[in-house]
Amino acid sequence: MKVSIIGTGYVGLTTGVALAELGNDIILVDVIPEKLRSIQGGQAPFYEPGVNELLSKHVGNGRIRTSLDTQASVMDTEITFISVGTPSREDGSMNDEYILSASNDIGKALASKDSFHVVVMKSTVVPGTTTGKIKPTLVASSNKQVGIDIGIAMCPEFLREGAAMHDSLNPDRVVIGCEDDGTFDILSGLFEPLGSKVLRTSPTSAEMIKYASNSLLATKISYANEISRICEAVGVDVYEIMEGVGMDFRISPQFLRAGVGFGGSCFPKDVSALMHIAKDLDLKTPILDGVMENNRIQPRHLVSMAERSVGPLEGLRIGVLGLAFKPDTDDIRETRSLPLIQELLRKGALVCANDPKAMDNFREIMQDIDYMEDPNAIVDGSDVIFLMTEWPEYRSIDWGSKEHLKGVFDGRRTVDPGQMKNLKYWSMGKPLAQ
C-alpha cells in the first residue's frame, strides 16, 4: 500500500522502514529539512542500531521517499500515520499542538481527495484525543464523513529505543482502535505480514492501553527501586531478590532491574500525563504519585550513599560515565544523569563526563562540565566515578589498575564486581560495605 508518515522521529522513521520492509511504498514527512536530507542519504537523524541498513536499502530501491509537504504526501497515498511528538507541558499535561497542526494539514488535503483514506494516530495521546480532537479537526478541515470518505484509527506504538527496529518488525501485539470495519480491514491487512496478535478496540481504549502499559512498566521499576533501598538496609542484594520474585510466571522477571530510575522520552511524560488526566477528573493516584516520587529519589540516593562511603564530595573531581537514558541510544530526554550531575554540582564537585553517543546532545543542555571522548582518561583523572548508563564500553576499562579512585558507584550494574576487586565499589541495591 502507499503510506505517508507525518513526523520522522524514532516512531515515524522506524514505522516507515518496517512498513517498507513489508513491501509498502512510504513517504516520510517532517518539518525539519535537515532530518529529511539525512534520511534521503540513508542515515537516521539519531543513533538507533539496525535502522540505517534497512533505511539505505529502501531509499535505494525507491520504496522510501521524503517530503516537506504533508498535503501532497497525503494526496499521493492511501494511509497516513501521525507520529509527531506529544511532549509534556509545564504542568505535566500532554501538549497536543503538533498532532492538531498535523491533523489540520491532513484534513485540508483530504478535502480534495476522492478515494477512501485512513488516518492513523500513532503518537501517544491521552484517552479521548482521537475521537474528541483529531476526528473533529479532520472533519472540519476536510468536510468529509468518517466511515464513508475517511477512516480514523488509533494504533499505539510499543517500541523501545535501542531496539526500535527489532520491536517494529516483531511487536508482541498490534492494537487497532477504530470504529468501522473498513478501516479495521485495511489496517489488519497492512500489519498482517508481521504475524503478531491483533487486538481490536475503540480508539479511546487503544489510547488507554498505551498509558496503562507504560505506567505499569514504570511502576515495576519504581517498585524494584523501593525494595532495593530496603534490601541495601537489611543486607541483601535486590538482584537476587528480584530473580526469585520474577520466577513466578504471574510476575515475570522483566522491568525489575533496580537502579538509578527510569528516564527516556516516554515513562516520565506518560505517567505525568495520566496523573494529570486523573486530577482533572478529581481522582487520586497514590500509586502513580509514588512511582514518580521513587524515581525522583534514586539519583539523590546514589549521591548520598557515595557521601556515606567516601565523605563530602565538595572539591572532588567526579567522573560520570553515561549520559544517555539507556544504552544503544543518543537520546538524553529525562536521563537520570541530569539530576545526578545537578546534585553533584550543588555539592561543589567538579564534574567531567563521557558517553559513547550522547555527549553532543547533553552539551546542548549543560555547558558547565568537562566532556571527554576517552572514558579511560576520565577514570584516570577522577577521584570518584558514577556509572550511569550500562554501555559495554565501560566494562572494558582496565579497572584493576585504578587504585587512585576513592570510590566507584554504579547506578546500573554496569560492571562485573569481579573486575572491581581492588576498588571501593558499590552498586545500587546491595549493602554498602563500611
Positions marked active-site: 266
Which residue among 158, 193, 310, 402 contacts ligand UGA (CB under 6 A)? 158
Does residue 363 contact residue 434 with C-beta atoms inside 8 Å? no
The yes or no reply on residue 35 touching ligand UGA (CB under 6 A) is no
The residues, any chain, with a CB within 8 Å of residue 219's CB and separated by 6 or more, are 287, 288, 291
Q: What's the CA gap between 375 and 17, in Å, rounded?
A: 34
Beta bridge partners of 351: 318
Identify the three-state secondary structure at position 38: helix
Q: How far is the CB of 152 from ligand UGA (least distance, A)?
A: 21
Judged by beta carbon, residue 6 or residue 349, the one nearer ligand NAD is 6
Of positions 4, 9, 135, 211, contacts ligand NAD by CB under 6 A: 9
> Could you say which of 264, 268, 356, 429 contacts ligand UGA (CB under 6 A)?
264
Provide the grid cell at 412. Answer: 546500573
Q: Does 228 bind ligand NAD (CB under 6 A)?
A: no
**Cα angle vertex 14, ends 11, 19, to 5°?**
115
Interface with ligand UGA by CB under 6 A: which range of 115-123, 263-271, 272-280, 391-399? 263-271
9 DSSP 8-state letter: S
Instruction: Provide the 10 A C-beta neighbour count for residue 281.
Output: 7
Query: Looking at the chain, how many residues does it have?
Result: 434
Among 25, 161, 207, 355, binds ligand UGA (CB under 6 A): 161
Q: How far is the CB of 154 from ligand UGA (least distance, A)?
A: 14
Site string for ligand NAD, 121-160 (x = CB under 6 A): --xx--------------------------------x-x-
Nearer to ligand UGA, 117 or 336 (CB): 336
Is 221 a binding residue for ligand UGA by CB under 6 A? The answer is yes
In the chain, % helix, strand, coil (3-state, to 5) comes to 45, 15, 40
Q: Is-contact 258 429, C-beta < 8 A?
A: yes
Residues 61-90 vs ligand NAD: string with x where CB under 6 A? Answer: ---------x------------xxxx----
Of the candidates 3, 18, 388, 386, the one whose C-alpha atom is nearest the C-alpha of residue 171 is: 18
DSSP code, position 430: S
Per rule CB under 6 A, is residue 207 in the interface with ligand NAD?
Answer: no
Contact 102, 129 (CB under 8 A): no
Q: Which range, of 136-144, 155-163, 278-286, 301-309, touches ligand UGA by CB under 6 A?
A: 155-163
| Binding of residue 265 to ligand NAD (CB under 6 A) | yes
- Least distance in Å: CB of 176 to ligand UGA? 16
Give the binding site for ligand NAD (CB under 6 A): 6-12, 29-32, 35, 70, 83-86, 98, 101-102, 123-124, 157, 159, 161, 265-266
